[in-house]
């Protein structure tokens, strides 16, 4: 199977899983990216089985609406039953790097609210240590140079993702050369404390609850490993 077929397969596995968790009052959180897009297209025919969705980006909201799926504002709901999203990297603790599609801030907000975070990915995203994928950081535009200097002090090599403006009107710095990230939780906290940073793409303090990984051998379901490595 090629990468696109793996994404389709894992998206279908997530649809089956989600349908076992929702009822007519449920709100489903929807992520951003090509794998999340597969999920949107596949869940569309089951839209009558849940109430509405919350989208982590304007792009996903538009795709959901094109299927006739209701999209609510997050402030209008008190609960999100389940959130499904892709990742750029995932390790055995289900700590993730996200933000390749520049939607990391809204993604992190929806994971904070959701009762369960289901990550879906093809096997190319599975790593022993995070940091091979440059870590995306959403930054307030006027703080770009200051934040970049602070990231260099942490050992990274930040590169401005030029011509990209996030849905929140901010810029993205992609931090190279962090691999291997030792404690993802510690680094997530340190970067959060740099003034001018809106969000960083480490999802370690609140990792995924379950990961469906599409491999050539089939779907592997991972729950967070508790051992240290």
- Residue ranges binding ligand 5RP (CB under 6 A): 31-35, 85-88, 98-104, 107
User: Could you tell me the smallest distance in angstroms from the CB atom of residue 134 to ligand 5RP?
Assistant: 11
- C-beta of 17 vs 39, nearer to ligand 5RP: 39
- C-beta of 30 vs 187, nearer to ligand 5RP: 30
**Catalytic site residue from 62, 89, 95, 107:** 107
State the sign of the Cα–Cα–Cα–Cα dihedral 206, 210, 212, 213.
positive
- Whether the CB-CB separation of 95 and 202 falls below 8 Å is answered with yes
- C-beta of 126 vs 146, nearer to ligand 5RP: 126
How many Cα atoms sit within 13 Å of 79 on the Cβ side? 7
Catalytic residue list contains 107: yes
- For the record, the structure tokens of 86 come out as 């892709």
Query: What does DSSP say about strands 52-55 and 27-30: parallel, antiparallel, or unpaired?
Result: parallel
Question: What is the C-alpha separation between 161 and 93, in angstroms, rounded?
Answer: 28
Question: How far are the Cα atoms of 4, 52, 60, 159, 217 from residue 37, in angstroms, in the given order?
Answer: 11, 16, 7, 27, 23
Residues present in the chain in total: 229
- What is the DSSP-derived secondary structure letter of residue 181? P
* 92 CB-contact burial (10 Å; exposed 0-12 / middle 13-18 / buried 19+): middle
User: Could you tell me the smallest distance in angstroms from the CB atom of residue 30 to ligand 5RP?
Assistant: 11
User: Could you tell me the smallest distance in angstroms from the CB atom of residue 78 to ligand 5RP?
Assistant: 25
User: Could you tell me the smallest distance in angstroms from the CB atom of residue 203 to ligand 5RP?
Assistant: 9
- C-beta of 93 vs 106, nearer to ligand 5RP: 106
Catalytic residue positions, numbered: 107
């Amino acid at each position: 199977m090629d990468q696109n077929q793996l994404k389709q397969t894992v998206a279908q596995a997530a649809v089956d899983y989600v349908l076992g968790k929702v009822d007519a009052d449920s709100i489903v959180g929807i992520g951003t990216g090509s794998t999340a897009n597969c999920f949107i297209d596949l869940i569309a025919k089951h839209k009558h089985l849940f109430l509405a969705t919350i989208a982590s980006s304007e792009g996903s909201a538009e795709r959901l609406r094109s299927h006739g799926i209701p999209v609510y504002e997050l402030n209008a709901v008190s609960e999100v039953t389940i959130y499904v999203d892709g990742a750029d990297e995932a390790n055995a603790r289900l700590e993730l790097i996200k933000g390749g599609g520049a939607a990391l801030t809204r993604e992190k907000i929806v994971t904070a609210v959701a009762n369960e975070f289901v990550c879906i990915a093809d096997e190319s995203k599975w790593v022993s240590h995070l940091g091979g994928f440059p870590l995306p950081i959403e930054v307030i535009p006027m703080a770009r140079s200051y934040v970049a200097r602070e990231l260099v002090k942490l050992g990274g090599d930040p590169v401005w993702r030029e011509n990209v403006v996030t849905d929140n009107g901010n810029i993205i710095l992609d931090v190279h050369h962090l691999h291997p990230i030792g404690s993802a939780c510690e680094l997530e906290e340190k970067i959060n404390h740099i003034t001018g940073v809106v969000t960083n793409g480490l999802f370690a303090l609140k990792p995924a609850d379950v990961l469906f990984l599409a491999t050539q051998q089939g779907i592997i379901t991972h729950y967070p490993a508790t051992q240290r490595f």
